[in-house]
Amino acid sequence: MLLLGLTGSIGMGKSTTAKLFQEAGVPVYDADATVHKIYEGEAVPAVEAAFPGSTANGKVDRQKLSAMVVNNAEAMKRLETIVHPMLRSHQLKFLSDAEASGAPVAVLDVPLLYETGGENRVDAVVVVTTDPQVQRERILARENMTPDKLDAILARQLPDAEKRSRADFVVDTSHGLDPVRERISEILREVVKMPRRRA
């Protein structure tokens, strides 16, 4: 089974692209959805112990936690030490299930793929991109998003141009869904001819 890493900066249309991969019959692991899941379950006691007051009603309160870690590299590291091993075990289960299903290709949807060295754990990388103006409009339309918050998020992400230059495949979401569906079909035809390269 070949493993595609799917990544892209915030507001580029990565979630939509992931859904279209699923629509094409490809198993997709969603790192963000898994974070939500563990923040409602197994991560709660450890996160509360490390960041007192960051949970409410038996769940991690993402806004409170975000306020505690957003501009604090040391706190962010501490959080990653708690969360990453849990995510890794969910990812391994996803991979073994996808492999067992006989899927020729699976997708790991990981927002910070390059930033966390994740490109070494996949066979090829798909970067989702769009026009910078479209990106800004999409993000600032989100609830609880401010220009300052957006700048803090973008500061943690590799620039789009660098991601695109390192990608095996680029998907541009600026022109609606049909071109994205076409591009996914092309990628799925190409990727099965590629050598397996993950570590």
146 is in an annotated binding site: no
11 is in an annotated binding site: yes
14 is in an annotated binding site: yes
List, in sequence order, the alpha helices (H) in 40-126: 44-50, 62-69, 73-100
For residues 134 and 174, is the Cβ–Cβ distance under 8 A? yes
Question: What's CA 23's distance to the chain center, in Å?
Answer: 18
12 is in an annotated binding site: yes
The Cα–Cα gap between 16 and 134 comes to: 15
Neighbouring C-beta atoms of residue 175, cutoff 10 Å: 10
Q: Return the percent helix, strand and coil in the chain, to nearest 5.
A: 55, 15, 30
- Over the Cα atoms of the chain, what is R_g? 17
194 is in an annotated binding site: no
Task: Please give the annotated binding residues for ATP, written as ranges.
Answer: 11-16
Task: Please give the annotated binding residues, written as ranges.
Answer: 11-16
